[in-house]
Amino acid sequence: MANRKSQQEHDLIVQSFADALVEKGFPDVRADVPQYQRPAEIESKRPFKGRIPDITTGGDSPLIIEVETADSVRDEHTKLQWTLFAEHAKATGATFCVAVPRNAVGPTRQRLRELGIEAEILKV
């Protein structure tokens, strides 16, 4: 996880999203917070090491969800993660999603466009 001012906010969002997915019946919900089994690392063939997504689900329509806060959308770390997770999702038939607070939807949409990354944006 990136070291950011809003790490506590980030972790609360991860927890609440994971809880909501479990309540909705999504299979094999994993989240990078203490209350859940941690998602598997997604290996990278690039010069940087693999990364662990914030949330993943299993089943016929798996999700890879990365949670961002307003202060993390432009981070280099975020760019590396989004690139890796989007490529992995495309290769495996998963859907890559970026979950952000409502005030970060515009900057997130712009950043995804700049990077040429396809993702669903989930509003927190």
SS3 for 45-90 is: CCCCCCECCCEECCCCCCEEEEECCCCCCCCHHHHHHHHHHHHHHH
Topology of 7-123 in CATH? Trna Endonuclease; Chain: A, domain 1 (3.40.1350)
Q: Where in the chain are the domains?
A: 7-123
pTM exceeds 0.85 for this model: yes
Residues 41-92 pLDDT 10s: 998 776 667 789 999 999 999 999 999 988 899 999 899 999 999 999 999 9
How far is CA 117 from its chain centroid?
Answer: 13
pLDDT (0 to 100) of residue 52: 94
